[in-house]
Amino acid sequence: MSRIYQAAVIAAGLLAGTALAAPGFAKTVQVETIPVAPSEPENAPAIPAEDLAAPEAGEPAAAEGSKAPTPASAELPQVLYSTSYLPKPVQRMQAQLKEAALSGNMERLRMVFESNELPPTVSFGQIDDPIDFLKEISGDGEGFEILAILADIMDAGFLHVDAGTPQEMYLWPYFARYPLHDLTPDQKVELFRIVTAGDFAEMQDFGAWTFYRVGIGPDGTLHYFVAGD
């Protein structure tokens, strides 16, 4: 308890004691007359029960058992982990990417890329060969680092984005479209399996995920495996 609060309590007590101890002290109580509405006549028509709770004009009635979403649930995208949520073609592509990544063989990844009608995007710039490009930017020069990143990404949670539009996609990892400032402690542990704390700090400052992500269309087409903004 602060000294200011203690002083206030003591002063209040002294004032109360003085008032009660003063001779001839009497407390005056003002009486207020509250008018009582006359009761309904016995023969007054009953009001239908449905009219008592009728919504205002222009306002739809709430469905039974419905609950308005909280701001958090309305804003944060739903993170999925089970591949059972994926259409069969997407499941197949996800499994092929993960298998190629864990094989340690960039040529296996080339086979997956070539199964597409068009090569997937791996760079926002002009390149000749996607596999050669990934080897060149890999820290080890052979692509093992890139394969490790791909394996971790395909193990992460994912999102179903832009449903019902031409841009509909299944997106790994979900951090690519998740508010980074709203991550829970366990989500941060998951994130740090993919990037470093320094990378994360830079992305928070930037305001978006800029590391690698994978986008697969509902028909199983691999659209991109790319980093950057």
E runs forming strands in 99-158: none
Q: pLDDT above 90 covers what percent of the chain?
A: 65
Residue 162 vs residue 59, higher pLDDT:
162
Residue 133 has pLDDT above 60, yes or no: yes
CB atoms within 10 A of CB 126: 5
Residue 117 has pLDDT above 60, yes or no: yes
pTM attached to this predicted model: 0.68
Average pLDDT over residues 169-174: 98
Query: How sure is the predictor about 120, in pLDDT bands with cuts at 50, 70 and 90?
Result: very high
Q: pLDDT above 70 covers what percent of the chain?
A: 68
CA of 154: how far to CAs of 35, 55, 134, 188, in Å?
Answer: 73, 49, 17, 17
Average pLDDT over residues 181-204: 96
pLDDT reported for residue 219: 97
Query: How sure is the predictor about 74, in pLDDT bands with cuts at 50, 70 and 90?
Result: low
pLDDT reported for residue 42: 45
pLDDT reported for residue 75: 81
